[in-house]
Amino acid sequence: MKFENVTPTKAKQWLENGEAILIDVREPAEFATKHIQGATLLPLGKITSEDLPETNKKIVIYCQKGSRGNSACVKITDQNSSVVIYNLVGGIEAWQEAGNAVKEGKSKVLPLDRQVQITIGSLALASSLTGYFHDPAFMLLPAFLGAGLLFAGLSGTCGLAILMAKMPWNQKV
């Protein structure tokens, strides 16, 4: 069976009725910054279908905005087609926008997608300026970054995000 999407309203209803559990697939530092109360952390890079708890409850997967949650659901159902799981549409951001509470931590790490955007933007800007003012060979870096973004968009896999997730500041809980 493939996974299904679930809205924050429906997921909250399931939680209030004791019908569901939550799995957060973000990185440890993102989880420490804020998460939905009662969620279990299983980062996307490490999660397998065998990591899911044995339960008769619905398993709702979530991330920051829904994309990593979707990737986790695809990964899990590809490994075990009999698993029934749900992706929280819009992730924790949609959960909060719907007026639902989150548990705030003391850690203040930027979400992984923003870390990737800042890194790519900084590299593209710096290399473009260097290419314009110093050596045109530096223009190859923005082309490489563009190719990486194209690949990430088409495949759903971002190499830079995988690398950033392994950085020490994203491992702190």
95's enclosing H/E stretch is: helix 91-97
**Catalytic residue of the set 47, 63, 94, 116:** 63
Nearest to 25 by CA among 57, 55, 70: 70
28, 170 in Cβ contact below 8 A?
Answer: yes
Known catalytic membership, residue 158: no
Compute the distance between CA of residue 85 and CA of residue 74 in angstroms, rounded to an integer: 10
Give me 129's structure tokens. 């300026």
Catalytic residue IDs: 63
